[in-house]
Structure 1
Amino acid sequence: MIVFPNAKINLGLQVNGKRPDGYHDISTIFYPLPVCDILEAVRAEEFSFHTSGLTIDAPALGNLCIKAYQLLQQDFSLSAVAMHLHKVIPMGAGLGGGSSDGAFTLMLLNRMFNLGLTREQLLGYALQLGSDCPFFIMNEPCFAGGRGEVMEPIQLPSLKNKLFLIVNPGLHINTAWAFSQLKIREPKIHLREVVALPPDQWRDLLVNDFEEVAFEKHAELIDIRSTLYRMGAVFAGMTGTGSTMFGIFDSAPAGYRTAFPSHYFTILQSND
């Protein structure tokens, strides 16, 4: 059985304060994009997990695909499977690739073994894997609160037929460090109000609180955003804690391959 775990971006990301459990309360809009890894699983004599594509610079046992299998194995005594993950989505980039892989593993195993898990049950398992994982069970534009697990689907008709240019400069920004550097402020305007406006009015209103931290350390990100605007983006920003940048366009920008010759990038149509 094969599935295609997709990426996401954050349209705005506001950090509202630290919680007693050590996490932070956030407000963000998760938006899925069809940049996908490839995950295959088949029944086997013994469990195995292999990868190809982009190099995963982390111990295999920490991979969320394996953790998802182990999580369901505890409750359902699953038989062994052989899994192969082909990585396309850059790691540690704010695109949610690892979280998506874990969530899609849960859904794949649910179908493969006819477990009969409801979406609500899958959401519960996904949250045990990580704060971003439940979104990929929903996998539709959502306003998210809490630590990211409290989600409400929303409609974003203004993004219909828009194009997204995704630029990943390959810079690693440590999430714990980024949170430690944050200066938590009251937002000038709530995300819900911002995204109700046309995207060409989002500039300076749709804020990712981590941009200030990331841009101060990596001036290259400022240059990428400026280039996206010069190329005609109606909005440009950073997703997650970085370092991936994205631009939203009415039509495909000319010369983007020349503008970002050494960067991971892709351009695609909105799936809204």
Structure 2
Amino acid sequence: MITFPSCKINLGLRITEKRPDGFHNLQSCFYPVGWGDILEIIPANEFSFGSSGLVIPGDSQHNLCVKAYNLVKADFDLPPVQMHLHKVVPIGAGLGGGSADAAFVLKSLNGQFELGLSVSQLEDYARMLGSDCAFFIQNRPLYCLEKGDVFSEISVDLKGYYIVLIYPNLVISTAEAYARVRPCQPETTLFEQLQRPMDTWRDTVHNDFEDSLFPKYPVLPHIKQQLYDAGAVYASMSGSGSTVYGIFNAPIVVPNQFSTYRVWEGEL
């Protein structure tokens, strides 16, 4: 079985407080984007995991895809599989690529071996793997609260808009991003702000990680401004960085300044 785990962007990201367990509570709208990896899972005589494309750091046995398989295998009599991941989405880019891969492993195992797991059960497994992993089970626009793994409905529809994602070859770890962020309670919830027309978002819909990361990595605000200069209706850093995206009314010619970066563009 071959699937295509796609990434997400954050439409706003407010860090509201630090939790007693060391995590942070947040408000964000996760929105799926078509930039994705390629995942193949087939039955085999013994378990194996391999990858191609972008180099994935660390021991492959600690990869989230492997952890997802082992998590399900602990509860079901899964046969061995051969798993191959062709990595396309940059790592440490604020796009949730690794979390998407793990979630798609869960969904693929559920379908391929007829495990009968519900969406809610799959999300529970995904929450054990990472804070944003559960989002990719439904993989549709959702308003996310607490650690990013509690969802509610939100009427945000960007169909017909175009997006350009710019990854400036800069890895920002989640640990670094959260170490520098300063939690605060916004006067108006992000949910309310996102109900307003998109041309108001530039002044209201904010990613709190920009406050601490932009001064340290000046390439990021520079990219954001270039996207606005190119006609973006709204531009922002995604997640904890370092990808910056712009949303446009129509396809654009990507500025030459981005030629040394990784760029993805497409329709939302």
Q: TM-score, normalised by structure 2?
A: 0.97
CA distance in 1, matches of 2:233, 2:137: 29
TM superposition shift of 1:166: 0.3
* Matched residue, 2:56: 56
CA shift, 1:186, in A, is 2.6
Counting aligned pairs with the same residue, the percent is 46
In the alignment, residue 113 of structure 1 is paired with which amino acid? F
Q: Distance in 2 between matches of 1:84 and 1:175?
A: 25
Question: 1:173 maps to what in 2?
Answer: 172
Which aligned pairs between 1:9-158 and structure 2 lie closer than 5 A? 9-157=9-157
Partners of 2:133 and 2:173 in 1: CA distance: 19
Give the drift of 1:16: 0.8
* 2:155–2:195 Cα contact (<8 Å) kept: no
Partner of 1:222: 221
- Distance apart, 1:257 and its partner CA: 5.0
**Distance in 2, Cα, partners of 1:68 & 1:136:** 13
Deviates more, 1:95-104 or 1:191-200: 191-200
Contact 1:99 / 1:130 at 8 angstroms: preserved in 2?
yes
1:247 aligns with 246
- Residue 259 of structure 1 and its aligned partner are, at CA, apart by 2.8
1:148-201 deviation digits (Å, cap 9, x = unpaired): 1110132213x2201000000011212222212122223142111211112111
Measure, in 2, the Cα distance between the counterparts of 1:24 and 1:60. 28
Aligned mates of 2:227, 2:188 — CA distance in 1: 24
Once residues 189 and 61 of structure 1 are traced to their aligned partners in structure 2, the CA distance between those partners, rounded to angstroms, is 43
Q: Distance in 1 between matches of 2:182 and 2:132?
A: 22
Question: How far apart are the structure 2 equivalents of 1:60 and 1:257?
Answer: 37
- C-alpha displacement at 1:213, in angstroms? 1.1
* Alignment partners' CA distance in 1, 2:183 and 2:116: 42
Cα distance in 2 between the residues matched to 1:202 and 1:268: 21
- Tell me the TM-score normalised to structure 1 length: 0.96
Q: Report the 3-state secondary structure (helix = DSSP H, G, I; strand = E; otherwise coil) of the residue aligned with 2:260.
A: coil
Name the CA distance, whole Å, in 2 between partners of 1:188 and 1:252: 35
- Contact 2:230/2:255 (8 A) holds in 1: no
1:4 aligns to what? 4
**Secondary structure of the corresponding residue to residue 160 of structure 1:** coil
Instruction: Give the match's secondary structure for 1:207.
Output: coil
In the superposition, relative to structure 1, how do residues 245 and 204 fare at CA in structure 2: closer, same or farther (>3 Å)? same
Distance, in Å, in 2 between the alignment partners of 1:170 and 1:190 is: 32
> Which residue matches 1:269?
267
Residue correspondences, number: 268
Output the CA distance in 1 between the equivalents of 2:107 and 2:183: 36
How far, CA to CA, are the matches of 1:259 and 1:162 in structure 2? 23
Worse overlay, 192-201 or 37-46: 192-201
Say whether the 8 Å CA contact 2:18–2:183 is kept in structure 1.
no
